Amino acid sequence: NRTQGLGANPLHLDYVNRSHPPQLIGLLGVRQDPSGGGASLLGHLPSACEALSAASSLTLEDPVFRYWNDAGALEVGEPLEAFSILPTEDAFTRFTAKMLPHLDGTDTCLVPSAAPWSKKYALALQELHHALCQRVWEHRLAPGELLVFDQRVFAHGRQAMGPGQGELPKSKRRLLRQLYARLSRAQP
């Protein structure tokens, strides 16, 4: 129940709003959902970005997006006041579909000066989300199976858990272990 309860967890990058989010994520299957739900999802960011219209690409290069901070996060860099979705100075796309419901004309996920144009930003982000959803690989991790991916290449998420979760004892529910890693360059 830790992340987004039992429902779907939309495609996203972890620590999207930090200066140094982890590059690699590992998901280790411990138990599958006995009701058949909870497949892990990976969406290919580079090909989704290539599918964008020119107008949406330009819109998503604006450094006007914000996202909530995990106050206790360690070794993921400093919080960013604002960031662009598509790479400008960064070498990777900073995407989270979790922002979409909050691009509603307020400054919740946009810097205050961009809030009046929230519809433009929401439409561009929706276009990227749609393109990403067309490029999704899904897999139910078996116990002992490890999925490792570069979150600068793949956004990740989860399908909803199957029915009857409330009746399952915790020892029978789907369980994954997650790890973060950063690639570093070898020192001469």
Q: Give the model confidence (pLDDT) of 77-126 as tens digits.
A: 999 999 999 987 667 899 999 999 888 877 789 999 998 999 999 999 99
Cα(42)–Cα(62) distance, integer angstroms: 25
What is the distance of C-alpha 51 from the center of its chain? 19
Burial (CB count <10 Å: 0-12, 13-18, 19+), residue 93: buried
Residues recorded for the chain:
188
* Cβ-Cβ contacts under 8 Å for 184 (sequence gap 6 or more): none
pLDDT at residue 104 in the model = 82
Query: What's the angle, vertex CA 59, arms to CA 131 and CA 3, rounded to 5?
Result: 55
56 band by pLDDT with thresholds 50, 70 and 90: very high
- Cβ-based neighbour number of residue 112 at 10 Å: 10
What does pLDDT average to over the chain?
A: 90
Q: Which pair of tokens denotes residue 103?
A: 């691009």
The one-letter code for the residue type at 132 is L
Q: Are 160 and 37 in contact (CB under 8 A)?
A: yes
Note whether 154 and 9 are within 8 A (CB). no
Q: Average pLDDT, stretch 62-80?
A: 89
Specify whether the backbone of 77 is left (phi greater than 0), alpha (psi in -120 to 50) or beta.
left
pLDDT of residue 3: 54
- 105 φ/ψ sector (left φ>0, alpha ψ -120 to 50, else beta): left
pLDDT for res 90: 60
pLDDT at 140 over 50: yes
pLDDT at 47: 97
Band (pLDDT 50/70/90 cuts) for residue 1 is very low
pLDDT at 2 exceeding the cut of 50: no
Phi, psi of 172 (to 5 degrees): -110, -10
**Residues 17-48 pLDDT 10s:** 999 999 999 999 999 999 999 999 999 999 99
Burial category of 1 from C-beta neighbours within 10 Å (exposed 0-12, middle 13-18, buried 19 and up): exposed
Over residues 177-182, the mean pLDDT reads: 91
